[in-house]
Amino acid sequence: MKFSFKIGSIWGIPIELHLTFLLLILAIFVLSLLSNLNFYFFFIIIALFIFVVFHELAHSIVARRYNIKVRRIVLYPIGGVSEIEDPPNNPAQEWRMALSGPLTSLILGTIILAIGLALTPQLLPAALTFTLTGNLILDLATLNILLGLFNLIPAFPMDGGRVLRAVLAQHMNYSKATRLSVITGRILGIAMVIVGFILPGYFLLIIIGLFVYIGANQEGQQTQLTTKLAQLQVKDIMQPDTTMLDSTQTLTEAQEHMQKNQHHNALVQKNGAYLGIVTQNEITKIPPQQHNLLHIEQIPLVNIVIFDDQSILEADKLRLKEQLDLLPVVQKQNPTQIIGTLTTKNIAQAYEKTQNPNQQPT
């Protein structure tokens, strides 16, 4: 993800930190030095994002239960995002995934709160106000409870918005459920901004309201784009170029072909029949001095095809999974005959055309 970098991984899931999070930490640190803001508050902010990791891991665990791959978790100043490979189209799966994060935060908060009150029972009145008390255990409990409750707001991009969409999707189509959820998010976002302006001391609501409104709009635009792309088929955007290398050609010739066509892989045929895909990654595993001696058929090939009536979304998922920039297209009636190719450029143009339907192709 742009402007983020990996800081570690948990259960094989990369954890990335967005640049804006570092800017937030730096700003709080500078304020701690220049004002009366003590380092306890700085520590609390750090602790908050540790709990955000637990929150996002809960989403990831449930996603894995449904065999949905989690690419990474990215931490932002306003929380975390679990980037999954294939969002669930099953409403029951979606609301379970969405609820797992807030429930984890609420359970953690409740457990920590119980421990804190057992150790310091006289702080019960302060704990019920859900404000910082100066007691580390109670404050950590408050952070988790507020994190869970905040994410239950029924508006995108919070988890509550996804729960709302999943519930609606059980009674109507997915696109309509998304539209209604987006409208709800916009209304709540506007309401928060208005309340933030009217009530003194609630300036933070303005920022949260803007975040909710923008997040709802982005979700709506993304869903609209996905819906349109799902209606496009591979044959609508593929190119008829079926140039293939012969399996007896050398690795050097394969590299030259890739460089000429600006691809990192190429189609391979043997005796006129499609054999597979040779990739630059496999070639680079071979010492350069052997490239003129080895033939393409002597190294592992990727043996996949896509059908001309598949949706572009399905084809793009396969392309990303296999890390290819060129896919062979066949008809279901004759899966051994290549009728065209689908490239990264074709897919990018389809995305751009869908977003800007009036734009002339280049």
Res 106: pLDDT: 92
Residue 359 lies in a domain: no
- For the stretch 315-358, pLDDT in tens is 887 887 788 888 888 887 777 778 888 888 888 877 777 666 55
Determine the pLDDT at residue 1. Answer: 47
Rounded-to-integer distance, Cα 306 and Cα 347, Å = 14
260-313 tens-digit pLDDT:
888 888 888 888 788 888 888 889 888 888 898 889 888 889 888 888 888 887
| Domain of residue 262, CATH code | 3.10.580.10
320 and 184 belong to one structural domain: no
| Burial label, 32 (beta-carbon count in 10 A; 0-12, 13-18, 19+) | middle
Residue 196 · residue 202 · CB < 8 Å: yes
Amino acid 220: pLDDT: 73
- Which ranges of 35-90 would DSSP assign to H, the alpha helix? 39-65
Residue 40 pLDDT greater than 50, yes or no:
yes
Kind of pairing between the strands at 334-343 and 79-84? unpaired
Q: Are residues 13 and 134 in the same domain?
A: yes
pLDDT band at 361 (very low <50, low <70, confident <90, very high): very low
**pTM exceeds 0.85 for this model:** no
Q: Are residues 49 and 82 in the same domain?
A: yes
Catalytic residue status for 297: no
Q: Which residues pair with 141 in a beta bridge?
A: none
* Same-domain status, 315 and 240: yes
Classify residue 362: in a domain, yes or no: no
Residue 271 within any structural domain of the chain: yes
Asked if 225 and 275 sit in the same domain, the reply is no
Domain containing 79 equals 1-152
| DSSP characters over 150-170 | HHTSSSTTSHHHHHHHHHHHT
Q: Which two tokens stand for residue 136?
A: 């580390």
Give the tens place of pLDDT for each residue, 97-149.
889 989 998 999 889 888 888 887 776 676 666 666 677 788 888 888 888 88
* Percentage of the chain modeled with pLDDT above 70: 82
Q: Are 143 and 3 in a shared domain? A: yes
Dump pLDDT digits (tens) for 145-203. 888 888 888 877 778 888 888 888 888 877 788 888 888 888 888 988 898 888 877 77
Q: Are residues 337 and 190 located together in one domain of the fold?
A: no
> Is 291 domain-assigned?
yes
Q: Are residues 220 and 310 in the same domain?
A: no
User: Is residue 358 a part of any domain in this protein?
Assistant: no
267, part of any domain = yes
Same domain, yes or no, for 204 and 94?
A: no
Number of domains forming the structure of the chain: 3
Does residue 361 lie in a domain region?
Answer: no
> Do both 33 and 138 map to the same domain?
yes
Q: Which of 216, 231, 246 is the last residue of a domain?
A: 231
56, 94, 219, 352: the active-site residue: 56
- For residues 232-240, give the mean pLDDT: 81
In a shared domain, residues 174 and 289: no
Domain boundary among 231, 251, 275: 231
Co-location of 209 and 315 in the same domain: no
Kindly report, residue by residue over 221-233, the tens digit of the pLDDT: 777 677 777 677 8
Residue 238 pLDDT grade (very low, low, confident, very high; cuts 50, 70, 90): confident
Residue after which a domain boundary falls, among 93, 120, 152: 152
Residue 360 lies in a domain: no
The CA dihedral of 180, 181, 187, 192, to the nearest 10 degrees, is 170
